[in-house]
Structure 1
Amino acid sequence: MNIIVCEDSEKQRIDIVKQIDNIIRKNYLNMKVYLSTENPYDVIKSIKDTPELSVYILDVDLKCNINGIELADKIRDKDPYSFIIFITSHSEMTHLTFKYKVEAFDYIIKNSREQLYRGISDALLKINMRLGNSNVSDKYFTIEDGRSITKIDFRDILFFETTSTKNKIKVNCFNRSKEFYSKLKDIEESLDQRFIKCHKSFIVNLDNIESIDKKEKLIYMRNGQTCCLSKSYTKALLDKIKF
């Protein structure tokens, strides 16, 4: 499911997206931030580009020629079934959602950052539950080598790494490791949001990181193992993780 964020404050928009990424990763939600923008017309254009069910998180006061509720009205014309969540400092404007008949899923008041982020988290989890997308229990990485099939719980995986043998990968877990034939790119595409590439030869599980040494370019895992980190992947990793 795609999430579209429309918020006119760049700083707040970046913070909201970061929090959404954390919510998705920690709860293993089948969601992703598809668009983050200050421009309501980018949102309208995105409806044609992504026909699947979406969640729209809209600031009511967009400092534009249309506000968030008017934007929601335009969204409903093109996308009648998706979820709309309003965020605002103006509780007195809630009546407009009824006037425009936009059928908002939630209306979150921005009294504090904590209240805002808790409200977004609660809304996304409720949407996830409503759609029946909670599938944490069946998150396994499966290895087939011709003679056997091995299923590894995603929660047990620390990181994947390439080996000196061509097209051979090693998966490192808390109490075991296993080598198998595959390509790192194919593995990356089969994983969920808790995994991220941290080096051209490594994919790490964000949930099992203990600490990061940016100077030595090392990631320390919860069992004491270390994983390589390269400069080109450091920012993306730090943007995703929050200790």
Structure 2
Amino acid sequence: MLRIFILEDDFMQQARLEQAIEEAVKTSDVAYKTLEVFGKPQQLLEAVTETGNHQLFFLDIEIRGEEKKGMEIAREIRARDPHAVIVFVTTHSEFMPLTYKY
């Protein structure tokens, strides 16, 4: 069953993203096991204990006050779980080309 992870440091954006995902899941009848929200990269990495295509990650590209940003966290997730689905989120439109390059 699907596990959904959110990494977002801004509380307002966390709430918006969580709400949007919950609404999308309801309207598509997708069953999920957990939806976990994290503000710090290390907390998220510690919570990832499984592997497989049943994991979905929404990662903020820019995490204030953290050495590891969304791109670096994505690399660590991909090393642990090559089948995980990773979605980058940001309020900074200038980062969009960067995500395509990545």
Q: TM-score range with shorter-chain normalisation?
A: 0.7 to 0.9
What is the TM-score of this pair, normalised by structure 1?
Answer: 0.37
Which protein is bigger by CA-based radius of gyration? 1
**Is the CA contact 2:7–2:44 (under 8 Å) kept in the aligned structure 1?**
yes
SS at match of 2:25: helix
Corresponding residue to 1:90 among 83, 87, 92: 92
Give percent identity, aligned residues only. 22
> Which residue in the other structure is 1:205 paired with?
none
TM-score by length of 2: 0.82
Map Cα deviations across residues 120-172 of structure 1 (whole Å, 9 max, x no partner): xxxxxxxxxxxxxxxxxxxxxxxxxxxxxxxxxxxxxxxxxxxxxxxxxxxxx
Give the 3 Å change call, closer, same or farther, for CA 33–14 of structure 1 in structure 2: farther
Match of 1:80 in 2: 82
Bigger helix fraction: 2
TM superposition shift of 1:4: 0.3
SS in 1 for 2:48: helix
Offset at residue 33 of structure 1 (A): 4.1
Higher relative CO (CA 8 A, sep ≥ 6), structure 1 or 2?
Answer: 2
Q: Which amino acid counterpart does residue 69 of structure 1 have in structure 2?
A: M
How much does 1:97 deviate?
5.5
Q: Is the 8 A contact 2:58 2:88 kept in 1?
A: yes
Per the TM alignment, residue 18 of structure 1 is displaced from its structure 2 partner at its CA by 1.7
Q: Does the Cα contact within 8 Å between 1:69 and 1:97 map onto a contact in 2?
A: no
Equivalent residue pairs, number: 98
| Unmatched segments (≥5 aa) in structure 1 | 100-243
Does the 8 A contact of 1:21 with 1:32 survive in 2?
A: no
C-alpha RMSD of the superposition: 1.8
Instruction: Report the alpha carbon displacement of residue 45 of structure 1 after superposing the two structures with TM.
Output: 1.2
In the superposition, relative to structure 1, how do residues 97 and 71 fare at CA in structure 2: closer, same or farther (>3 Å)?
Answer: farther
Q: Mean alpha-carbon deviation: is it higher for 50-59 or for 87-96? A: 87-96
What do the CA deviations read for 1:45-100 (whole angstroms, capped 9, x no partner)?
A: 1222x33421100111111111111111111111111110001133333336635x
CA gap of 1:45–1:97, structure 2 versus 1, over 3 A, is farther
SS in 2 for 1:3: strand
